[in-house]
């Protein structure tokens, strides 16, 4: 009896040992906006409702798109971005997640 229990214990232990060797590779998710001038605006205004992926997963878009996005977040969803910070925030998004104006 004792040896059977010992065997089960050893079996369980070897399974645990195997399980601990499994490695998972997750896609990189930094959770922070790119460090660049204006990042503090994005951190203060664009992190309270959703992750940076909502921004970083967009294809590179022109300033008009970012302007419309920030306005939508503000007017429709209630992002607390002060009017005085809108232009700088839109500049930051266009520079770091978009394409510059032609």
In angstroms and rounded to an integer, the radius of gyration of the C-alpha atoms of the chain is 24
72: phi then psi, degrees, rounded to nearest 5: -65, -45
Q: Which residue has the tokens 């394409």?
A: 99
Q: Could you say whether residue 90 binds ligand HEC (CB under 6 A)?
A: no
73 binds ligand HEC (CB under 6 A): yes
Nearer to ligand HEC, 12 or 49 (CB): 49
1-9, 21-29, 31-39, 51-59 -> range binding ligand HEC (CB under 6 A): 51-59
Q: Are 98 and 65 in contact (CB under 8 A)?
A: yes
Contacts of 99 (CB under 8 A, 6+ apart): 60, 61, 62
Query: Among residues 38, 52, 93, 96, which is the contact residue for ligand HEC, using CB under 6 A?
Result: 93
Residue ranges binding ligand HEC (CB under 6 A): 45-46, 48-50, 54-55, 58, 69-70, 72-73, 77-79, 81, 89, 93
């Amino acid at each position: 009896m004792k040896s059977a229990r010992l065997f089960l214990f050893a079996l369980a232990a070897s399974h645990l040992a195997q399980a601990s060797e499994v490695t998972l590779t997750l896609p990189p998710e930094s959770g922070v906006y790119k460090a660049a001038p204006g990042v503090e605006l994005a951190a203060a205004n664009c992190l309270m409702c959703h992750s940076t992926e909502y921004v970083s997963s967009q294809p590179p878009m022109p300033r008009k798109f970012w302007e419309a996005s920030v306005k939508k977040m503000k007017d429709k969803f209630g992002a607390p971005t002060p009017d005085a910070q809108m232009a700088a925030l839109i500049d930051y998004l266009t520079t770091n997640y978009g394409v510059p104006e032609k």
